[in-house]
Each structure stands twice: as C-alpha cells, then as structure tokens.
Amino acid sequence: MTLPAQLWLTHTTLTGPQSEHLRYTASALHKKLMRMFPDGLGPQPRRQAGALYRVEPDDCALQLLVQSQIAPDLSAFPSARSRSLLPLFEHLTEGTPVYYRIAANPTKAVRDPENPKKRGTRKALYGDQANDWWRRKAHDAGLAPVTLDSSRYAFGSDVRRHGDNDRLLNHGIQFDGVAEVTDQQRLTSAIVEGIGRGRAYGLGLLSVVPARR
C-alpha cells in the first residue's frame, strides 16, 4: 500500500484515580483518547483519524501508545510525546529481523451445521489455538514469527455484555516475539490499518522495531 502522508506514534501516561477507571472501562478510554483529534471527522472518527491504541503493561500507571494518521492535539495530555513513524518503514525490508508486539482478538467463526448458510458465531481462541491464529495473521501481514510469547491482555470490561458472542470483544491476547520481514508491502498495510477485531477498544495495533543482528 501507499504510505499515508503522515503516521504518528504518541506515548502518554495517565495517572490518578481517573486512570484506574479508564484502565477497566474501554469505552471511556476510547472517548478520552479521541480528544486528541478534531471534531467533525464523520460517523467513523477513529477510522478517519487512522487511530489505533494499546495499553502497555504497567502496574503503577496507565501507559498508552496511540498511532494516528492525524497529528494529535496533546493539550489535554501533558505527559504525551509524539514522533513520526514514517522513517521506520525504510528499515522494514525483506529479511530484516524485528521485535513485534500486538494485542489482538483471536477468534474463529463457528457455523451451525443445521443452517450452514447463516453467518457463523464467533468463538474465542486460547492457548495453542490463539498462537496458531497469530501465526496465520502474521504470515498474512508479511511476518514470519521466529519466537512467540502470548499472555492475556485485559483492556476493559464494559464492551457489549449481552451474551457469549458479544463478550468476545473483551477477549484479548498479547503476542510478543521476534519475526523476519517477508513482505514489506503487507507489513506496511498491517501496521497502518491494524489487524483483527476490536480496534476501537485497544486491539489490533501492530508494533515492530528492527532487531539488532
């Protein structure tokens, strides 16, 4: 794909009582982070801003990474710092080893054998099945994982709780490891657009950085 005109990565730390509330309330955290971007972006403002985010592991504060195609307004985020991600893509050539991290929503569609034409329901994947899901997604994203560690990613607890199906948006697994770049164009698309479901709720942001040989 063609790179966007700009791609920003913002790191911010939220502290105090409000941060504890935001850590477990995905819709409120989404609303808070969208304050970085202007009003009037249409019915899908997150997509228009190209915004993806991830909560980083930290027991003491709420550490957040926010990626966007619009320069963020950080006036409401005094600790935030932004930088352009565009120089990164020059180093993501085929054969380059990289460290990667993504928090994602591994699921699969399960069809009703009595009604095979009906859209399948979503089933959460765990353990080896989740790891296999990521290996497939990584391959599609131009990465060949060399190492893989996975852990539960808790990103909020208030997103659509009306049944087993809806609760899947609360199912997150974080994948970390080393991979080799196999397709620069596919990797570029995956970084810019994100991977999988739940992108409005802290899932799908793929972070890579070249590993030292």
Residue 35, domain extent: 8-87
Does residue 106 share a domain with residue 164? yes
pLDDT of the residue at 96: 97
Assigned domain for 3 exists:
no
**Nearest CA among 86, 94, 87 for reference residue 180:** 94
Assigned domain for 1 exists:
no
Write out pLDDT tens, residues 171-188.
789 999 999 999 999 999
Q: Which residues of the chain have pLDDT under 70?
A: 17-18, 20-21, 23-24, 59, 112-120, 155-170, 213
pLDDT of the residue at 211: 94
161 vs 183: CA distance, rounded Å:
38
Does residue 187 share a domain with residue 105? yes
pLDDT of the residue at 27: 79
Does residue 62 share a domain with residue 161? no
Does residue 109 share a domain with residue 47? no
pLDDT of the residue at 163: 44
Q: What is the CATH number of the domain that holds 37?
A: 3.30.70
Contacts of 73 (CB under 8 A, 6+ apart): 35, 36, 37, 38
